[in-house]
Structure 1
C-alpha cells in the first residue's frame, strides 16, 4: 500500500487504484500537446506503457480497464480526473507522496481538500 493510502484516517478511505493514480509516476498529455487526440481524450504515459483515456466514455485501453472494468475506473482514468481537478485529493494525503508530475502538462490544476472543507489548487 502506498504512503498516501496509509495516511488515511479511520473514517476516510482512499481506494488502492486512486492511491496508485496519485503517487505512481505518470504523465498526462492532452490534445494541446498531441494533436491526434480528440477533445476529452488523454494519453497517460507510464513506465509500463502508454494508454488512451476517453473521459467522455470513461474508458481506457489498459488491460485493467479492458478485462476487469473496476468501479471508479482504472488508475489511468483516476489519474486524469485527479490531474484535472475533477476529483479532489483528500486533505489527509501526504503531499510528499504525490507524484510531482501530477497535472504538469494540463491547463486545469489538481485540487486538494482543505481543513475548512473547501478545496485549493495543489501547489
Structure 2
C-alpha cells in the first residue's frame, strides 16, 4: 500500500479541507468491478475521477494541469477515507462529509489529543 500524500509540515491546505467537506463518494473494486486493487473512483456532483493509489495519480484537471504538492482533493479524499491519512483532531467533525469512507472496507481515522489515532465514528 502506498503512503498517502502528506501535507507540508504544520499545514492543512484548502484541498485537504475540500476533501473532507465536499460531497464525494469513493468506490473501490468491491463496489465497482471495473477497477484494479488500489484503484478508486471518486464520484462528485461535477464529475467522476479515477485515483490510482499506487501510482499516486488522479485524472482530474487539477492533478493533470497543476499537480499540487499534497495531491488533488480526490487523492486526499481517498487517503482520508481509507484511514491512510488521519484527520487532524481539531477538525470540526460536523463539517466532515457524512459519506467519508462509507463504501470502503477501511475506515477513516482521526488524530487524538495523545498523538494516537482512532476510527472516526
**Equivalent residue in structure 2 for 1:24, among 22, 25, 35:** 22
Question: 1:5 maps to which residue?
Answer: none
Distance 1:16 1:94 in 2: 15
Which structure has the bigger radius of gyration?
1
* Structure-2 residue corresponding to 1:91: 89
Please state whether the residue corresponding to 2:42 is helix, strand or coil: strand
Cα distance, 1:13 vs structure 2: 3.1
Residue of structure 1 equivalent to 2:73: 75
TM-superposed CA distance for 1:83, in Å, is 0.2
Aligned residue number for residue 101 of structure 1 = 99
**CA RMSD between the two structures:** 0.7
SS in structure 2 of the partner of residue 44 of structure 1: strand
Task: Provide the TM-score with structure 1 as the length reference.
Answer: 0.89
Residue 66 of structure 1 corresponds to 64
3-state SS of 2:48 partner: strand
Q: Using the alignment, how far apart are the partners of 2:70 and 2:37 within structure 1?
A: 21
Q: Distance in 2 between matches of 1:13 and 1:49?
A: 27
Query: Which TM-score applies when normalising by structure 2?
Result: 0.91
How far apart are the structure 1 equivalents of 2:54 and 2:106? 16
